[in-house]
C-alpha cells in the first residue's frame, strides 16, 4: 500500500472560510494575473497565485493516484501561506482556520487521504497547543517551515513546540519557504532547484548546531526533498564544526553533524536514481520515505518508477513506500 508522505492541498473549505471571515484576521483574496486569485495578508505580503493542482478537484488527484499506484496521500497546506508576519492573535486564528478546513476536507475523503497540521510558530507555546489540538482532531503530524521571516528555524526559541512534538510522537515535516525576494533566482527555476534545497540545508545546520536533537533525541524530524543538500554536505558540516569557534557561534551540538544523520528522516524526492541510492546509503534504508511534493512544479510525479529505476529490491521498495511511512506516521489508519 504505497503512501505519499509529502503532498500539499488547499481545500475549497479554506477559500470559503477566507471569503466569509478572513478579513477579521488580516487575510483576503486578491486578483492576480491571468484572472487568478492570490492571498493577501495585512502585513503587506501577497502570495503567488494558487498553483492549479493545489486547488484541483479531488477527482483529479484520485485519477493520478490510481495511475501511479499510490494508495494513500498525506497532505499539508502550502507553506507559502503560513503568514508568520501576522500579529500573534491573527496568526493563531489563521492556522486554526488552515487546520480546521483541511481536517474537514480530509474527513470527507478519508479513504485516500490524511493530513498534517500547521502551527503558529511565532509563539512556541501557542504552536505546541495547536499541535496537540490538531492531533486530537485527526492530524497525523505537522509541517513547519525551514525559516521564520528569514531566521533559521533552529535559532528560534521553540523548545516548547519541540518538546510537545517529541512527547506526542508527532512527525515534523521540515519544509523550505521563499519568504523574501532573493537575488539571482528569478529565472531558470533556480528558486525551486537551488534556493529551496538551500533553505532546508540551512535549517538542518541550525537545528543540529543549536542542540535541538540533543535536547529532544526522540523527535521525529522528516526532511523534505531528500534533506536538501545536507546528505551530500555532511562531511563539510563536520569539518567546519571541528574548526569553528563554537562558543562564539553558539554551537552546542554534542556530536559531529554527520552523527545525527540517521537520527533524522528523509523523503525520496531527489529526482535521480543515483541520488536516491546515495541518500539511502547515507541515511539508511529505514529512514527514507516515499514522497512527491504533489501540487508543485518540482513534484516527483512517478515516485514508484523512481524506486524501480534506482534498482532497489522489492523489500527496500516496500519499506520506502509503505513500511517506513507507517512506522513514522503511527496515527495513520
The stretch 80-97 carries a mean pLDDT of 97
- Report the distance separating Cα 99 and Cα 240, nearest Å: 40
The stretch 240-255 carries a mean pLDDT of 94
Q: What global pTM score does this model have?
A: 0.96
Is residue 3 within 8 Å of 65, Cβ to Cβ? no
pLDDT for 215 equals 98
pLDDT for 252 equals 94
Residue 181's pLDDT band, with cuts at 50, 70 and 90, is low
What pLDDT digit, counting tens, does each position of 105-147 carry? 999 999 999 999 999 999 999 999 999 999 999 999 999 999 9
Look over the chain and give the mean of its residue pLDDT values, rounded to a whole number: 96
User: Where do we find the cell 470559503?
Assistant: 16
Q: Which residue has the higher pLDDT, 100 or 178?
A: 100
**In the chain, domain spans:** 3-11+51-328
What pLDDT digit, counting tens, does each position of 304-319 carry? 999 999 999 999 999 9
Q: Would you state the CATH architecture of domain 3-11+51-328?
A: Alpha-Beta Barrel (3.20)
Residue 179's pLDDT band, with cuts at 50, 70 and 90, is low
Residue 182 pLDDT greater than 80, yes or no: no
Residue 185's pLDDT band, with cuts at 50, 70 and 90, is confident
- Report the distance separating Cα 135 and Cα 115, nearest Å: 10
Share of the chain above pLDDT 70, in %: 99
What pLDDT digit, counting tens, does each position of 187-230 carry? 999 999 999 999 999 999 999 999 999 999 999 999 999 999 99
Amino acid at each position: 500500500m504505497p503512501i505519499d508522505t509529502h503532498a500539499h492541498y488547499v481545500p475549497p473549505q479554506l477559500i470559503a472560510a477566507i471569503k466569509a471571515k478572513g478579513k477579521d484576521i488580516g487575510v483576503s483574496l486578491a486578483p492576480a494575473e491571468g484572472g487568478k486569485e492570490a492571498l493577501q495578508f495585512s502585513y503587506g505580503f501577497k502570495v503567488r497565485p494558487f498553483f492549479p493542482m493545489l486547488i484541483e478537484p479531488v477527482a483529479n488527484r484520485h485519477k493520478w493516484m490510481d495511475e501511479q499506484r499510490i494508495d494513500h496521500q498525506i497532505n499539508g497546506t502550502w507553506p507559502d501561506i503560513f503568514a508568520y508576519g501576522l500579529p500573534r492573535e491573527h496568526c493563531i486564528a489563521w492556522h486554526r482556520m488552515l487546520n480546521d478546513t483541511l481536517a474537514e476536507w480530509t474527513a470527507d475523503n478519508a479513504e485516500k487521504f490524511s493530513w498534517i497540521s500547521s502551527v503558529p510558530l511565532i509563539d512556541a507555546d501557542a504552536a505546541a497547543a495547536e499541535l496537540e489540538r490538531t492531533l486530537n482532531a485527526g492530524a497525523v503530524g505537522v509541517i513547519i517551515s525551514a525559516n521564520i521571516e528569514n531566521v533559521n528555524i533552529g535559532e528560534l526559541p521553540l523548545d516548547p513546540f519541540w518538546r510537545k512534538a517529541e512527547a506526542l510522537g508527532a512527525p515534523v515535516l521540515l519544509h523550505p519557504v521563499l519568504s523574501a525576494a532573493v537575488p539571482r533566482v528569478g529565472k531558470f527555476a533556480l528558486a525551486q532547484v537551488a534556493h529551496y534545497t538551500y533553505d532546508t540545508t540551512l535549517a538542518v545546520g541550525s537545528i543540529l548546531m543549536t542542540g535541538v536533537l540533543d535536547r529532544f533525541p526522540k523527535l521525529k524530524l522528516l526532511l523534505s526533498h531528500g534533506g536538501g543538500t545536507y546528505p551530500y554536505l555532511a562531511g563539510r558540516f563536520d569539518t567546519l564544526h571541528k574548526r569553528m569557534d563554537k562558543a562564539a557561534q553558539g554551537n552546542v551540538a554534542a556530536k559531529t553533524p554527520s552523527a545525527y544523520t540517521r537520527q533524522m528522516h528523509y523523503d525520496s524526492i531527489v529526482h535521480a536514481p543515483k541520488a536516491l541510492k546515495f541518500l539511502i546509503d547515507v541515511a539508511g534504508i529505514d529512514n527514507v520515505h516515499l514522497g512527491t511534493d504533489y501540487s508543485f512544479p518540482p513534484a516527483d510525479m512517478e515516485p514508484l518508477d523512481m524506486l524501480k529505476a534506482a534498482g532497489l529490491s522489492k523489500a527496500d521498495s516496500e519499506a520506502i513506500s509503505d513500511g517506513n511511512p507507517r512506522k513514522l506516521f503511527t496515527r495513520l489508519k
